[in-house]
Amino acid sequence: TAYRRQRQMCIRDRHLASMGMSGSAMLSPLCKTVNVHATSKLVDICVELSIPNVIYTSSYNVAYGGRAIINGDESLPYFPIDQHTDQYSPTKALAEQLVLKANGRRLKNSGYLKTSCIRPAAIYGIDEKRHLPRIVKHMDTGLFQFRIGKAMVDWVDIDNLVSSLFSTVSMYTVFNNLL
């Protein structure tokens, strides 16, 4: 197939797709299909085609449960799956867990799968059409509150996210060359 031919050029896989990151889509049962089942299939395909690396773009929602996270990173424990109030957050946590569990899985040809996850917060950047329009709409309807003081929101510029993904790819490339 075309996918198998492209495998010759592919040394890693970055998983960026997700369902339900904001608004009413966060409540959709499709979140599990896209975020968990598709991720599981992607990992299986990487093993089958001996693609040695998976970088999963998770979400800080997997650890967030309504309390402030200060200086958090990927080592934070998961918020209890059954206590999330949406479909998006627990399905991202489940997908992240299955990606991490797949680390070290034997590849079909040879070698072992290496996996990693990053947990960015709200992503913004040039031509971003998800968060900013929603914020403006909330401002127009009076639902937006601006606060100066102890409130912090951890927004991630798309350029910084891409830079972190490239750093991870570079780390994998060095690691793979050592094997």
Q: Which residues pair with 106 in a beta bridge?
A: 112
Q: What crossing angle do the helices spanning 88-101 and 38-48 adopt, rounded to 10°?
A: 20
State CA 83 to chain mean position distance: 20
Q: Evaluate whether 89 touches 64 at the Cβ level (below 8 Å).
A: yes
- Determine the Cα–Cα distance for residues 58 and 152; give it in Å rounded to an integer: 20
Rounded distance between C-alpha atoms, residue 179 and residue 170, angstroms: 15
CA 116/CA 107 separation, integer angstroms = 16
64 a catalytic residue: no
The SS3 of residue 133 is helix
Annotated active-site residue in 3, 56, 60, 88: 88
Q: What whole-number distance in Å separates Cα of residue 153 and Cα of residue 173?
A: 33
Catalytic residue annotation? 88
